Amino acid sequence: MMSPLRYLYSRLSLRTALTVPFLLLILLGLGVTGWLSLQNSERAINEVTLQLRQEIGTRIQEHLDHYLHIPKITNQHTISELQENLIDFTLPQGIQQHIIHQLLSYPQMSHIQIGTTKGEMIGVERGQDGFFRLEIANPSTEFNLYVYKVDTQTKLMQKKPLRVVPNYDPRSLDWYQQTAAQQTSRWLIQSGKSQWSQVFNFLGHTWLALSYSTPIVSESGELQAVISSGVVLDKVSKFLQSLRIGKSGQTFILERNGTLVATSTQEKLYELDLETLQAKRFSAQQSGSPLIQSAYAFLLQQFGNLDTLQHAQSLDFKLAGERQFLQILPYKTAGLDWLIAVSVPEADYLEKINENKKITLIFMVLTSIIAGLIGILLVNWLTRPLRTLNHAAQKLTAGEWEYEFESHHRQDELGQLSRAFQLMVEQLKDLFSNLEAKVAERTTELEKANEEIRSLNDYLQADNVRMMAELDVTRQFQSMILPRKEELAAITELDIAGFMEPAEEVGGDYYDVLRYGDTIKIAIGDVTGHGLASGMLMLMVQTAIRTLYASDMYDPETCLITLNKAIYDNLQRMQSDKNLTLTIIDYRQGRVTISGQHEEVLLVRSNGEVERIDTLDLGYPVGILPCIESLVAHKNLHINSGDGLVLYTDGITEAMNAQGTLYGVERLCTLVSQYWQAPAQQIQQAIIRDLKTYALGSTYHDDLTLVVMKRV
C-alpha cells in the first residue's frame, strides 16, 4: 500500500516539484541567517553586560577600598602623633583640636572617639548642621557623657550641654570590647589587630555609620585606650547613584544576613525608633525596589545561605517575565563581610535587537516574494520543452505516429533532449514496422532456452536426490561407528560420557574410546569441510586407528606418524584436498599422554579448577604433508581421583546465537567447573543443554562432539 507521502509526491507536477523546494531552500536560508544574526546579537549583549557588570563591580570595590581606607589613615595618624608626643593623651584640649582637624581634612568622616581603660572617653562627631559635637566623659563629668556643640576651633557654641548621658562607660560599647582584646606590643597599627564595627547610627542622627577601631597600647604592651574612627555610609549610596548602568540597572551592597548597606535607588535603608533613637535597618527583602527584592530572593533560592557565596558569580534571573543579569562580588576586609550586587535588565539592550528583528522580517518577506517570482519564471522556462515532449509522448502512446510536435531550437540540454526524442520517434516507427518478424524470431529462441532450462532443472533435482541419499548414508555410518554406552560403562576406572550430533550437511567429526590391556585410548578429530568426502575421510581415520592399535602399535606419536602416511597417500590417490586435526590420548593408572594437534584439551581438577592445554605444538593436521615425524610431540599429565579431561570439536565453541556471538571456550570452561562434581553423563547433558539454549533459533553448520572423562 502506498504511503500518503509517496502518494502526494506522485501527484506533484514537475513545475510544482521544482518551485516548492526552491522556495523552501530560500526561506530556510533566510531563516537560518536571521536566527544566527539574532543569536549573535544576544551573545554580544551577554558579553557586553558581563563586561559592564564586572567593570561596575570593580569600580565599587575600588571605591570602597579608598573610602574605607580613610579611618585607617586617621587612626594611624593619631597614634603616630601620640608616639611622637605631638599631642598629649592626658590633655583633652589638644586631642579635641587634633580630632577636629582630622574631620575637616576628611569630609567623609563622621566621628573620631577615644575610650580609655579607665572609663574615660573623648570624641568629636560631625553634626548635620555643619557644626561638631564634642563628647566628654571623665572624672570631671563624674563619668557622665556631656555633649557640646563646638565650632571648628573647638570653641563651645553654648555652655549648656546639648544632652547628658548618665553613667556612660565606653568600655561597654561594642567598638571598644571588640578591639580591646586585639592588643599589640608597641605603638603601631598592625594588620589584623584593628577591626570594623557593625553598621550603626548615632543617637538621634538620620545617617548610618561604620567605625574602624584600633587598640592603643603602652611600650610595655598594656592596653591604654581604643581609638574609633567612622565614616558615613550615605556617601556610599550616593556613589552608587552616580554610576550609570544601562537605562534602569541598579546596584546595592548587603551584609551576609541580607541587611542592606547601600543602594543606588535613593530609598531609605532604615527607620528611626523615636523612643530609643536607634535605627531599625531594612533587609533586601524589605527594599522598595522590586529588582533588589527579586535579586535577593533569587540568591537565597540559588545558594540557600549567602555565607556559601565566596567567589564572584555571573547569574541571571527573571523579573515579571523579563531576564535580569546579576553580578555578585564578595567584599571582605578586617571584620567586614559584604556582597556587592550589580543588576542590569536585559530589556535595556533589547530595543535595538527588536528593531533588527523587524528589519530582518521585512527583508525575509521581500526576498521571499522576489525569489518566488524568479523561481516561477525560471521553472516555466525550464519545463516548457518538457511539457511539449510529454504531450508528444502521450500522442505516440495512443498510436498517433503521424503527430508532429513542436521542435525547440535551444542549444542547451533540453533542446538536445527534444531533438533526440524526435530521432527516437523515427526509429520507433522503423522498429514497429519489423516488430512482428522479430517477435516471432525471439519467441523461437525463448522456447529453445526454456527447454534447456527444464532439462537442467530435471538433472539438478535428480542430483539433489542422489546427494541427500549419500548424506543420509554417511550420517548413519558416522553414528554407527561411535562407542556404545556399554563399551564406555565397561571401563570401570573412568567415568566417560560422549556426545556427537551431525550437522545438516555431514561434517567429519570423529571420536572413539578403545581399551587395550590396561591402557585406555581416546581419539578425537575434525575433518575439514562438509559432505560425503569429509565423512569418508572420518571413516578411513577411524578404521586406520583401530587397525594400528589392533596391530599392537600403542605409542601415540608412532601411531600418528603412521596414520598420516596412510591417509596422505590415500588422499593423493583420491585427488582430495581434505585433511583433519586429530588428538590421541593414552590413559594408564592416572598417567595421561596427549599427542596430536586439535582443539584445546580441558584438564579439570577435582575442585572444578580448569586448565586449558594447547595442542598446537603437539602435532600437525593429518593428510597435508607426507611425513610429520619432526612435527609430532607429546605432553604427559597425571590425574588423581576426581580429576578428568573434557574434549570437544569446534562445532561446540563456534556455535552462534541469534546475534552472531560465539559460544566460546570461556563459557564452556565456566559450565564444566560449575557441574564438575556431578557424574560425567550429567556434565555432558548440562553442557549440551546450555549450548542448545544459547543457540536457540540458529542452524548448526558443523557437527557437535563432546567427550567428558573423570577418574573414579
Domain boundary among 433, 448, 466: 433
**All three cell numbers of 362:** 521585512
pLDDT at site 710: 95
Residue 207 shares a structural domain with residue 254: no
Residue 378 shares a structural domain with residue 413: yes
Residue 295 shares a structural domain with residue 362: no
What average pLDDT does the segment 496-515 reach? 82
Task: Tell me the average pLDDT of the chain.
Answer: 80
The percent of residues in the chain predicted with pLDDT above 90, rounded, is 21
Residue 292 shares a structural domain with residue 359: no
CATH code for the domain of 527: 3.60.40.10
Domain boundary among 232, 263, 281: 232
Domains identified in the chain, total number: 4
Domain boundary among 232, 249, 279: 232
Q: Which residue has the higher pLDDT, 162 or 435?
A: 162
Q: Which of 60-69, 84-93, 138-147 has the lowest mean pLDDT?
A: 84-93
When pLDDT is cut at 50, 70 and 90, the band that residue 306 belongs to is confident
The closest alpha carbon to 582, from 606, 598, 594, 605, belongs to 598
Which range has the top average pLDDT, 331-340, 426-435, 586-595?
A: 586-595
405-421: per-residue pLDDT in tens? 565 566 666 666 766 76
Residue 617 shares a structural domain with residue 687: yes
pTM: 0.46
Q: Coil, helix or strand for 367?
A: helix
Which range has the top average pLDDT, 28-37, 65-74, 214-223?
A: 65-74
Q: Which domain holds residue 531?
A: 483-711
pLDDT at site 186: 41
pLDDT at site 414: 65
Residue 489 shares a structural domain with residue 635: yes
**Spatial separation of the C-alpha atoms in residues 552 and 541, rounded to whole Å:** 17
When pLDDT is cut at 50, 70 and 90, the band that residue 352 belongs to is low
**Spatial separation of the C-alpha atoms in residues 64 and 72, rounded to whole Å:** 13
54-79: per-residue pLDDT in tens? 888 888 888 888 888 888 888 888 88
234: Cβ contacts below 8 Å, ≥ 6 apart: 207, 208
Strands across the sheet with 580-588, in order? 508-516, 519-527, 580-588, 591-595, 634-638
pLDDT at site 181: 63
The answer to whether 580 and 625 have CB atoms below 8 angstroms apart is: no
Residue 403 shares a structural domain with residue 427: yes
> Is the pLDDT score of 496 beyond 90?
yes
638's torsion region: left (phi>0), alpha (psi -120 to 50) or beta? beta
State the number of CA atoms in the 13 A half-sphere of 252 facing the CB: 31
